[in-house]
Amino acid sequence: MSAVKISLVAVEGVSYHFDRLYGYLVPTELEEDAQPGARVVVPFGAGNKSSRGVIVSVEYGNGSSLKQLQSVIDDTPLITGELIELAIWIKAQTFCTLYDALRLMLPAGLGLQVTKQYSINPLMPPDAFGLLTADEKRLCELLSKKSLTKEQLLDRMGLNGGSDMPEALAQRGLLLTEDFTKATYNEATASMARLNISEDMARGLLSGVELTKKQKSALKTVIEADSATVKEICYFSGVTVSVINALVKKGILELAQLRIMRNPYRDILSAREEPPQLSDTQQAAYDNLLPLYEKHAAAAALIFGITGSGKTQVFMKLIERVRVDGKGVIVLVPEIALTPQAVSRFYARFGGDIAVLHSGLSVGERLDEWQRIREGAASIVVGTRSAVFAPVIDLGLIIIDEEQEHTYKSESSPRYHARDIARFRCAKGGSLMVVASATPSVESFYAAAVGRYSLVRLDERYGEAVLPQVITVDMKQELAAGNDGPVSERLKTELIENMKRGEQSILLLNRRGYNTFIYCTDCGHVLACPNCSISLTYHSANGRLMCHYCGYSSAGVSACPACGSRHMRYSGQGTQKAEQVLAELLPQARILRMDTDTTSSKYSHEKILKKFEEEKYDILIGTQMVAKGLDFPNVTLVGVLSADQSLYTDDFRASERTFSLLTQVIGRSGRGALRGRAVVQTSTPDNEVIRFSSDQDYDAFYGAEIKLRSALLYPPFCDLCEIGFSSAMENDVKMLAAAFFARLKEEILKVKDMPIRLMGPSPASVYKVNGRYRYRIIMKCKNDKSVRALISNLLTEFGKSGKFKKSAIFADMNPLTVI
């Protein structure tokens, strides 16, 4: 018997514990297209459900017991061999399914939907029709003209989605089913809601009895807003989408899809910029990087460049050099919205050779960019985390800017870090990885210190700018002096001073909302989210209490829900409250607030910054987004309202994060010709992290931190693996975590000399989120093959055992934040 072609396929939708390659026979008519990297549709499982998959490899052999490929979607494979290899590595590293890893290599939104269509079975026995009910006869009549999907059928029959009549008839052999694959258009749009009736009629409904309380509340918001996105309406009226859907069904509202995406950087295409002359320091940095690139072997470098040192110019010169060889480049930035200036500069320098990849593009645009990269029409990719998978031809260089940013680590499966992916691709391709930051992650700086990365320092500010003068204010003394507000006397004085001079100020308060803590002064009851173990935050913009974890909201209360007392105390200050206090303190100041509540629609972020840049405002107050990457020469004062809050958490990275945030925001001050000041408010002025960031002294910070990490055994001196458990049943998750822990311990003891320390199992720092209870185990280990195999085997074991079917387990190697 001759050998037949067999494709080995990674199938979508399989759980981790039975994820492997499945072999499928390739029918002769598909033989040409069935190549590794092509997407396919295969029958899977006992029900032969049509499932998507990707061919990982092909072989020839005896495939008599195999099922057949249903169809091949791409006539040229979408995923190259290099990226297939990467996907296999990601599965091993992050404990995801192979298909989930492969999906990273495809542009988002390149979807495909498999739908079932029903048609009349022409071989239906002639007497069968007479036995049907009236409804069933009507259904067959509908199908006599053309085949329909279940949804279309039930809709035309006026039945609800729960009916299984089509399936039942198919089972009895009266109907045939056929699977259809069609491309999906999950075009990224914002759903806008507007009135479908006259405003007068709508107002009438508000006082009538036809609508429920929630529907009235949502309708009122729409009337007032004229038109708003569904998301905004939900925020302001405190309802969920279902209420809006109900109003749509009643014909009161209508929804319109508004395409919000565009590429705002294209406009700059015409304004090409000539490369500026590098400063001596920049040139020296370039001279250090060049030989690393030119040896065309895997290499890694850390550019440690203080804010304002002009790293970007060094990148661009290096990119120019790489292009001479006809090689490709990937530049990663933490968040496109935060770096519009940098992206514009890349466009200005390299024009149409740039492709931009980020979530703000429409599906069509993203596909176009992806196609241009694959064909080699664009050889320089600028993008966020997922751009590290771009199908760049002959990759020569990957740059990761602000490499310490947490956005480079995926928080959902596959839980990869872009830096690890970059390192893998560079190692395989013999290319150079450059990570850069003013406040590098401790891991990267350590890698440079021990020589795994080449260290390139850029520690001179470009131009004349000098470091700001930092004033630390002790908020304990401030309180003792009778000031319990968010703004100290000193900061107030400085703000007034700045306004007099016509200069601008930025204030950082890393907490959204108005009051962050509401409790009863009689019984001590704290208002908490019913779904999460998190206290509710009062938002003045909509007068509601909101949960920042799950989006739950309820109306503000004046009486305690526990004891009925009317002595509720609203305390804890967020950005909304600080904005109001400032307005009272400095009535003549023009204040702008920026946080996720004011930037919920795309690009409003840019609009806010533009407004501020044009100097229509004196003070910009906001959460950490005011600290990142922006360059306003007229800002000469930065205020940190509470430097402590990110410092005292139980995360071992708290110091690192705080140092980075404080250093960045302080660095916003005095970027132009004017000398800057920074006021840092803290109740622990002696804390060394606050001192180091006030001095903008990374080396001192690193020196102290690396000693701690070594003494307490934390990364980079070990790897940390978090194993998380969640379930809606509190008891289940407790048992599961304990059982897993016991098995883990047992397995570790079996192996000689496995250096592992286990911590836990313990409740997650936020115990309940979205109605699910969470536990965790932390392993200090070495991320090697045997440890990964151990974890993988246990995940499989517990997945199979069915005992904890309603609970979920995940493993996260080196998480940036521990749950």
Partner DNA sequence: AGCACGCCGACT
Partner DNA sequence: GTCGGCGTGCTC
Residue placing its CB nearer to DNA in the complex, 587 or 802: 802
Among 3, 18, 112, 489, interactor with DNA by CB under 7 A: 18
Residue placing its CB nearer to DNA in the complex, 47 or 482: 47
Residue 741 C-beta: closest distance to DNA, Å: 21
The two three-digit tokens of residue 504, written as one number: 């601008």
DSSP code at position 794: H
Helix/strand/coil (H/E/C) assignment for every residue in 73-101:
CCCCCCCCHHHHHHHHHHHHHHCCCHHHH
Start-to-end CA distance of the chain, whole Å, equals 56
The three-point CA angle 10-12-15 to 5° equals 95
Residue 806 C-beta: closest distance to DNA, Å: 7
Among 16, 22, 95, 236, interactor with DNA by CB under 7 A: 22
Residue placing its CB nearer to DNA in the complex, 20 or 259: 20
Residue 75 C-beta: closest distance to DNA, Å: 22
Residue 799 C-beta: closest distance to DNA, Å: 8
Cross-strand pairs, 328: 395
Choose the stretch contacting DNA; rule: CB under 7 A; options: 39-47, 407-415, 620-628, 811-819: 39-47
Residue 120 C-beta: closest distance to DNA, Å: 22
Q: Which residues contact 621 (CB under 8 A, 6 or more apart)?
A: 506, 507, 508, 509, 575, 578, 579, 582, 591, 592, 593, 594
Task: Determine the Cα–Cα distance for residues 510 and 595; give it in Å rounded to an integer.
Answer: 9
Residue placing its CB nearer to DNA in the complex, 116 or 372: 116
The DSSP secondary structure of 777-806, one letter per residue, reads EEEEE--SHHHHHHHHHHHHHHHHT-TTTT
Task: Determine the Cα–Cα distance for residues 556 and 159; give it in Å rounded to an integer.
Answer: 41
Residue placing its CB nearer to DNA in the complex, 46 or 209: 46
Choose the stretch contacting DNA; rule: CB under 7 A; options: 346-354, 609-617, 706-714, 798-806: 798-806
Residue placing its CB nearer to DNA in the complex, 20 or 707: 20
Q: Where are the beta strands (DSSP E) in 90-134?
A: 112-120
Residue placing its CB nearer to DNA in the complex, 43 or 672: 43
Residue placing its CB nearer to DNA in the complex, 312 or 807: 807
Residue 24 C-beta: closest distance to DNA, Å: 5
Choose the stretch contacting DNA; rule: CB under 7 A; options: 42-50, 272-280, 315-323, 432-440: 42-50
Q: Which residues contact 139 (CB under 8 A, 6 or more apart)?
A: 153, 157, 165, 166, 169
Bridging pattern class, strands 228-229 and 189-195: antiparallel
Residue 24 lies near DNA (rule: CB under 7 A): yes
Task: Determine the Cα–Cα distance for residues 362 and 227; give it in Å rounded to an integer.
Answer: 22
Residue placing its CB nearer to DNA in the complex, 49 or 566: 49
Residue list 64-103, contact with DNA (CB under 7 A): 65-67
Task: Determine the Cα–Cα distance for residues 111 and 127; give it in Å rounded to an integer.
Answer: 43
Residue placing its CB nearer to DNA in the complex, 154 or 261: 154
Task: Determine the Cα–Cα distance for residues 4 and 533; give it in Å rounded to an integer.
Answer: 58
Quote the radius of gyration of the chain (alpha carbons, Å): 30
Other Cβ atoms less than 10 A from the Cβ of 361: the count is 23
Residue placing its CB nearer to DNA in the complex, 15 or 469: 15
Residue 54 C-beta: closest distance to DNA, Å: 15
Choose the stretch contacting DNA; rule: CB under 7 A; options: 43-51, 144-152, 443-451, 560-568: 43-51
Residue placing its CB nearer to DNA in the complex, 116 or 296: 116
Residue list 413-452, contact with DNA (CB under 7 A): none
Residue 352 lies near DNA (rule: CB under 7 A): no
Residue 117 C-beta: closest distance to DNA, Å: 16
Residue placing its CB nearer to DNA in the complex, 26 or 568: 26
Among 130, 161, 208, 802, interactor with DNA by CB under 7 A: 802
Sign of CA dihedral 88, 92, 96, 97: positive
Choose the stretch contacting DNA; rule: CB under 7 A; options: 45-53, 101-109, 529-537, 740-748: 45-53
Residue 156 C-beta: closest distance to DNA, Å: 23
CA atoms within 13 A on the CB side of 58: 21
Choose the stretch contacting DNA; rule: CB under 7 A; options: 38-46, 138-146, 380-388, 675-683: 38-46
List, in sequence order, the alpha helices (H) in 557-644.
575-585, 604-613
Residue placing its CB nearer to DNA in the complex, 67 or 406: 67
Task: Determine the Cα–Cα distance for residues 398 and 293; give it in Å rounded to an integer.
Answer: 11
Closest CA to 95 of 715, 744, 781, 791: 791
Among 4, 23, 262, 632, interactor with DNA by CB under 7 A: 23
Residue placing its CB nearer to DNA in the complex, 182 or 805: 805
Residue with tokens 């970059």: 422
Per the CB < 8 A criterion, the answer to whether 771 and 534 are in contact is no
Among 3, 29, 32, 49, interactor with DNA by CB under 7 A: 49
Residue 44 lies near DNA (rule: CB under 7 A): yes
CA distances from 304 to 455, 456, 477 (A): 7, 6, 37
Choose the stretch contacting DNA; rule: CB under 7 A; options: 10-18, 459-467, 641-649, 736-744: 10-18
Sign of CA dihedral 716, 717, 719, 723: negative
The two three-digit tokens of residue 605, written as one number: 């972020």
Among 3, 32, 45, 341, interactor with DNA by CB under 7 A: 45
Per the CB < 8 A criterion, the answer to whether 526 and 519 are in contact is yes
Residue 582 C-beta: closest distance to DNA, Å: 49
Choose the stretch contacting DNA; rule: CB under 7 A; options: 445-453, 456-464, 565-573, 800-808: 800-808
Per the CB < 8 A criterion, the answer to whether 331 and 311 are in contact is no
Among 1, 2, 28, 46, interactor with DNA by CB under 7 A: 46
Other Cβ atoms less than 10 A from the Cβ of 645: the count is 14
Angle of helix 213-225 relative to helix 230-237, nearest 10 degrees?
A: 120
Residue with tokens 């026995």: 125
Residue placing its CB nearer to DNA in the complex, 17 or 428: 17
Task: Give the type of residue at 444.
Answer: S
Per the CB < 8 A criterion, the answer to whether 671 and 533 are in contact is no
Residue 64 C-beta: closest distance to DNA, Å: 10
Residue placing its CB nearer to DNA in the complex, 20 or 452: 20
Residue placing its CB nearer to DNA in the complex, 43 or 715: 43
Residue 162 lies near DNA (rule: CB under 7 A): no
Residue 60 lies near DNA (rule: CB under 7 A): no
Task: Determine the Cα–Cα distance for residues 524 and 61; give it in Å rounded to an integer.
Answer: 72
φ and ψ of 257, to 5 deg: -85, 120
Residue 720 C-beta: closest distance to DNA, Å: 27
Per the CB < 8 A criterion, the answer to whether 100 and 111 are in contact is no
Sign of CA dihedral 139, 145, 149, 153: negative
Count, residues near DNA per rule CB under 7 A: 21
Residue 290 C-beta: closest distance to DNA, Å: 50
Choose the stretch contacting DNA; rule: CB under 7 A; options: 47-55, 146-154, 185-193, 787-795: 47-55
Task: Determine the Cα–Cα distance for residues 343 and 265; give it in Å rounded to an integer.
Answer: 7
Choose the stretch contacting DNA; rule: CB under 7 A; options: 14-22, 359-367, 698-706, 735-743: 14-22
- For DNA, the binding residues (CB under 7 A) are 14-15, 17-18, 20, 22-24, 43-49, 65-67, 802, 805-806
